[in-house]
Amino acid sequence: MKIIMLGAPGAGKGTQAKMIAEKYGIPHISTGDIFRANIKNGTELGMKAKSFMDKGELVPDELTVSMLLDRVGKPDCKDGYVLDGFPRTIPQAEELDKALSGRNEEIDFAVDVDVPDENIVKRMSGRRACLKCGATYHMEHIPPRKEGVCDSCGSELVLRDDDKAETVQKRLQVYHEQTQPLIEFYTRKGILKTVDGTQDMKDVFGAIVGILG
């Protein structure tokens, strides 16, 4: 079972991808992890990617897909995988389709965790992080015992720049321009499934399991 997770930043698709991977015994693959592993291991693809990243340039789609194919060709992917964070654009999706069809393979499901923008802004601007031990909280859903103080180490909790409303809105704008067209792309292919991401995390997962079977 080969699955692509779609959804805006903060929609919770990464959390759902991990839960899917655990339930079905398939790897959760994020492009960030692939990049880090290839660079750390000094692979040829990793070194090529690093040369772009060192110059502050985007890694070309072809190279990203090559690294992805290398990863999904590993024995632990024989029963499938969950892709999280790729593809992000139509050209990447087309490149991936082309590469998979060369192996007589295809994506089975594209699951869109759908959350309205205003919910995401509220959700993310409620996050607080401890920069010392890495613990994370949410003022509404997982508040610390004492406001502004980390339960684990007693350090001050902060609102990260990434979670500030204006940053979140910029990220959402990029998502709508670049990534949302994938919804139409996978709808045309007949594999898009949409779940209501505003529900409780367990209910979202239940809906996904209902789709995947």
Is residue 123 flagged as an active site residue?
A: no
Catalytic annotation, pick one of 18, 48, 50, 88: 88
Let me know if 128 is a catalytic residue: no
Catalytic site includes residue 103: no
Active site residue 171: yes
* Alpha-carbon gap, residue 183 to 172, rounded angstroms: 15
Task: Please indicate whether residue 145 is annotated as part of the active site.
Answer: no
CA–CA dist 34, 203 (Å, integer):
30
How far is residue 151's CA from residue 166's CA, in Å, rounded to a whole number? 28
Question: Concatenated DSSP letters for 48-113?
Answer: HHHHHHHTTPPPPHHHHHHHHHHHHTSGGGTT-EEEES---SHHHHHHHHHHHHTTT----EEEEE
Angle at 84 between CA 100 and CA 86, to 5 degrees: 50
Catalytic, out of 13, 71, 123, 128 = 13
The residue from 48, 50, 122, 171 that is catalytic is 171
Residue 41 token pair: 């291991």
User: Known catalytic residues?
Assistant: 13, 88, 127, 160, 171
